[in-house]
Structure 1
Amino acid sequence: MKRWMPERQNLSPLEQRVLDYLFDHPERVIRCKAEDLAKTLFVSTATISRTCQALGFRGFQELKYALQQELQRDPGGSEAPASFPLQQHVDRFRRDFEETIRRLDYEKIRQAAELIHESPRIEFFGVGNSLFPCLEAAKKLTFAGKWCNARTDWDDLEVTAQSMSGTDLAFLVSYSGETRSILHFARTLKANRVKMISLTGPHPNRLEKMADIALKGHMTDCCFGNLDLCSRFPMNLLLDLVIIEYIRRWKTPSQSGEP
């Protein structure tokens, strides 16, 4: 499978998403249909087909056969994390970091920092694994002197969304950008004319279309059964960059802790 990776740079972002999934979950891919894979990755079956053809295969069935042959030659390519070579996960983390940096939109980072500066109240909305980047970012911004919160209770989030106004700023964090509760909060916030910054994974989603600024991190799917092992560190990275830009531009050295 490693011989396919040089082709990655020639693929579209959606096709790269398909290739990354093939690389990380080969046993899962050989057991599924193209329609099932498309639903899992939020892409079309046409994208699956184009990816297969870009890799030199006539279609999805031919690619699955090649994957099966690869796994028979390399039994270490099992789906379960316990039997994956650790290097494969190291490569996944490195790829996520490098792709997030490569696609970084510096102007959006600047605009997001400016919204922080202009907003008297800032709230972070995230649930599940996406809550943790919110908690860390809210803590850092609080220490930087901004009034902000990352709430953990659903009822608190609901009341907060309803109480915010057009002078406030909301960060909405969701890997898929399709999380039902986050989309619900986003609709409430938009009705109240609250400025919104979305932070999602790389694929197109509804949340980014509702936001004033859409930040996107590259995160590769990784699951063990129903356990989501996809790392959210690209989200932490992007939030850190926004906070650092805010501190750099609007805090004095003594306030920001810089020498």
Structure 2
Amino acid sequence: MQFSHRVLIHKNELNESEQEIVRFIQNNPSEVVSNSIQDLATTLFIHPTTVVRLAKKLDYTGFAEMKHELRTEQQQLDKIRNQTKNNEAPKIDLSEYLANTTVEKIVSLIEKARDVHFYGIGNSQFLCEISAKQLRCTDKRSHYYQHRHDMLYSIHELKAYDLIFVISMSGESESLNDVARLVKKTGATLISLTHITPNTLSEIADINLYCYAPINYIHNYDVTNRTYAMATLYRIIEKYWQYHI
């Protein structure tokens, strides 16, 4: 699980000092992975045990594992940057990824569903909010969630005739994939929306939606373009509107 995902899951458990360490790590990952825990503690004017406590709160075994995982993430980001440097996102024909038969099938599922739920974390949350509100205008019961614990609570109320969209550009968010596995146990239909690459979430879901959304970071900040993801969802909702407005 990525460092940013761990922070998102445990953010309400972190005290002010730990939040300060997190901000430093996010802004200076290269410095963290190339120095010792003592160096980090000295830079932040804290005791090394404070760093260890943070690592364990984020479900690492300790600083050594956190440092190793951060280094791996940095290497992956460097590889992605090298692959995408100076390349613009191509013009995408949605029909290449979203056949009319798929749209009609999903619209039919929305019609039959008692409730439609949208699950996403981080920068994908706004897609969930917009989509849920766009369905509500036709009096369709639809829901989105700001926090993972609310998603988990909602799963207890799911029925086999409910419909769930799980939105994750990478498809590799462990927290969302765990949620998806719990959804599958309820018998509800699960639809994934991810970037057009093989991923774990797509393997879990009953129906796969894809869009062009390669991971992109600037100064370690996620600036992945989710425009095509929104367009994919809008095409489905727009078709649903045609039958219900």
Fold match (TM-score > 0.5): yes
Whole-Å separation in 1 of the counterparts to 2:201 and 2:183: 12
Match of 2:224 in 1: 230
Matched residues, percent identical?
A: 26
Tell me by how many angstroms 1:221 deviates: 2.8
C-alpha distance in 2 between matches for 1:210 and 1:220: 21
CA contact (8 A) 2:97 2:209 kept: no
Deviation at 1:247, TM superposition (A): 1.7
- Secondary structure, aligned partner of 2:198: coil
Contact 1:123–1:148 (8 Å) recurs in 2? yes
Matched with 1:124 is 118
Gaps of 5+ in 2: 1-71
Deviations along 1:143-168, whole A, 9 cap, x unmatched?
A: 12200111102211110122211011
Q: CA deviation at 1:224?
A: 0.9
**Secondary structure of the residue that 2:187 maps to in structure 1?**
coil
Corresponding residue number in structure 1 for 2:17: none
Structure 1, gaps ≥5 residues long: 1-35, 42-63, 68-76, 80-87
The equivalent residue for 1:201 is 195
Specify the alignment match of 1:151 in structure 2. Answer: 145
Partners of 2:199 and 2:147 in 1: CA distance: 25
CA distances 1:27-60 after superposition (whole Å, capped 9, x unpaired): xxxxxxxxx79x839xxxxxxxxxxxxxxxxxxx
Partner of 1:40: 76
Q: Structure 2 matches for 1:100-179, cutoff 5 A? A: 100-179=94-173
Contact 1:177 1:200 in 2 (8 A): yes
Deviation at 1:185, TM superposition (A): 0.9
1:160 alignment partner AA: S
Q: Secondary structure at the match of 2:156?
A: helix
After TM superposition, give the deviation of residue 132 of structure 1 in Å: 1.0
Residue identity matched to 1:208: S
Q: Matched residue of 1:215: which SS? A: strand
Alignment partners' CA distance in 2, 1:225 and 1:99: 30
Q: Does 1:213 align with 2:204?
A: no
Preserved CA contact (<8 Å) 1:162 1:189: no
* In structure 2, C-alpha distance between the alignment counterparts of 1:111 and 1:119, rounded to whole Å: 12
Q: 1:164 to 1:99 in 2, by over 3 A?
A: same
1:163 aligned counterpart, secondary structure: coil
- The total of aligned residue pairs comes to 171
In 2, the alpha carbon distance for the partners of 1:143 and 1:107 equals 24
Contact 1:202 1:218 in 2 (8 A): yes
Task: Work out whether residues 197 and 211 of structure 1, in 8 Å CA contact, stay in contact via their aligned partners in 2.
Answer: yes
2:199 and 2:238 map into 1 onto residues whose CA distance is 27
CA distance in 2, matches of 1:206, 1:197: 13
Q: Tell me, yes or no, if structure 1 residue 185 matches structure 2 residue 179.
A: yes
